[in-house]
Amino acid sequence: MIFWIVVVVLTLAVAGILAVPLLRASEAEDSNPDLAIYRAQLAEIDRDLGRNLLEPDEAERSRTEIARRLLAASKMDAGPVAVQKRHGPLALLVLVLIGAVTFATYTQLGAPGYGDVPLQARLAASEDMRNNRPAQAMLEMVAPPPPPVDVPEDYRAAIDRLRELAPTRPDDLEAWSRLAFHEVELRNYSGAAAAQERVIAIMGEDAAPADLTRLLDLRVVAAGGLVSPEAEQLIRDILALEENNVAARYYLGLLYDQTDRPDLAYRLWRDIAENGNPQTFHVASARQMIEDAAFRGGVDYTLPEVRGPSAEDIANAQDMTPEDRQAMIGSMVAGLADRLANDGGTATDWARLITAYGVLGDTDNARAIWVEAADVFGANAEAMAILTPAARDAGVLE
């Protein structure tokens, strides 16, 4: 309520300042400026006479002459200028327009009814939200069911038999791996996550980050896209093994985004979105959500576009005649190389350029770009994971 009182008072104050000139009438003035001059001259004669600067006879003659001119000017005067009218209706219209525009703008850009939330209170609320999330099992119970999948009945019957068989073989890695795979095919993500958990338990210390990442994907999708406490612990486990794991960093950002910390989500997603492979799920998702997270976190950020020939462009070029292929890719490569030289770019942009030079058979330029990219991104393991395969495919790495 205090907020609205302050807003109303400030709005009325600004509108009042603008409306006051419209309510004030101007003073009447003489239409003939000579009248004021003659009156001033008469007053000056009286002052000079009082200070003995003029003789009485001389003063009388001057007064008579000025009085004659004043009388003549008065006869020619059309009278005082008409007093300017007050514009009351216009002032009221200004007041109403300012108020209407102010409140209409606030309803669009502001948050009517949203209480004041100090930073510390917001951080505490976010922490409380994160600490009191429902468990994985609860999220799976309330998650919307996935769309049905159409498969043959004999396939369903075979998976039912596998579901019965796997528990009788708790250490059979192949049986549980197959069950996890086929549960995904049937969109039974909860069952797939449970089977993948068993796969990791059987593998023990041999479980790779990729195996843990697969379980993380299954847990999140089974929970309807929400990151549960169990999924968060899995994220921490993956990052302990692989600090720059794209999937783990994406899901950690998603957790922060879901618990009112878009600022932290933006920081985690920026490197992924700008340097990751946009054709992968986690990078594509980060690219889709990062601008909104940045906006809500108070950051003015525009996601750079993916530039240069895509993998599809290069694949299509394989079906062209050698001359057409060289011309098409050469044009794309020239444009991309020029932009990277002038503006820089992401690791994905550099990888595209290396790949394109490889398709053109220009190994020297591909090697030169690879060396330059390695110098720029050498300390970024995620970026190097994108650049190295491109360099290998272009024939500049063994």
The answer to the question of residue 133 being in a domain is no
Burial class (CB in 10 A: 0-12, 13-18, 19+), 237: middle
Same domain? 269 vs 173: yes
Model pTM?
A: 0.59
The pLDDT assigned to 176 comes to: 95
Alpha-carbon distance of 364 to 368, in angstroms, equals: 6
pLDDT digits (tens, 9 = 90+) for 214-262: 999 999 999 999 999 999 999 999 999 998 899 999 999 999 999 999 9
Same domain? 266 vs 346: no
The answer to the question of residue 199 being in a domain is yes
The answer to the question of residue 385 being in a domain is yes
Domain that holds residue 198: 153-296
The pLDDT assigned to 117 comes to: 59
CATH number of the domain bearing residue 322? 1.25.40
Average pLDDT rounded to a whole number, residues 389-396: 82
Same domain? 276 vs 328: no
Contact predicate 87/23, CB 8 Å: yes
Q: By C-alpha distance, which of 381, 336, 376 is closest to 354? A: 336
The answer to the question of residue 165 being in a domain is yes
CATH number of the domain bearing residue 160? 1.25.40.10
Same domain? 196 vs 292: yes
Q: How many domains does the chain have?
A: 3
Same domain? 318 vs 291: no
**DSSP letter string, 8-47:** HHHHHHHHHHHHHHHHPPPPP--S-HHHHHHHHHHHHHHH
Q: Is the pLDDT of residue 307 over 70?
A: no
The answer to the question of residue 100 being in a domain is yes
Same domain? 166 vs 270: yes
Alpha-carbon distance of 286 to 279, in angstroms, equals: 11
The answer to the question of residue 304 being in a domain is no
Same domain? 263 vs 334: no
The answer to the question of residue 18 being in a domain is yes
pLDDT digits (tens, 9 = 90+) for 41-53: 778 888 877 777 7
Of 205-214, 312-321, 326-335, 371-380, give the lowest mean pLDDT range.
312-321
Contact predicate 221/144, CB 8 Å: no
The answer to the question of residue 122 being in a domain is no
The residue out of 72, 106, 140 marking a domain boundary is: 106
End-to-end CA distance of the chain: 70
Same domain? 187 vs 263: yes
Same domain? 212 vs 262: yes
The pLDDT assigned to 353 comes to: 83
Q: Angle at Cα 324 formed by Cα 320 and Cα 328, nearest 5°? A: 105
Same domain? 324 vs 349: yes
The residue out of 269, 296, 323 marking a domain boundary is: 296
Same domain? 160 vs 265: yes
Alpha-carbon distance of 225 to 219, in angstroms, equals: 9
299-330 as b/e: b if 16+ CB within 10 A: eeeeeeebbbbeeeebeebeeeeeeebeebbe
Q: What percent of the chain has pLDDT over 90?
A: 32
Q: Which two tokens stand for residue 164?
A: 């019965």
The pLDDT assigned to 82 comes to: 47
Same domain? 327 vs 279: no
pLDDT digits (tens, 9 = 90+) for 131-190: 899 999 999 999 888 878 888 999 999 999 999 999 999 999 999 999 999 999 898 999
Residue that has been written with the tokens 């490569």 in this structure: 333
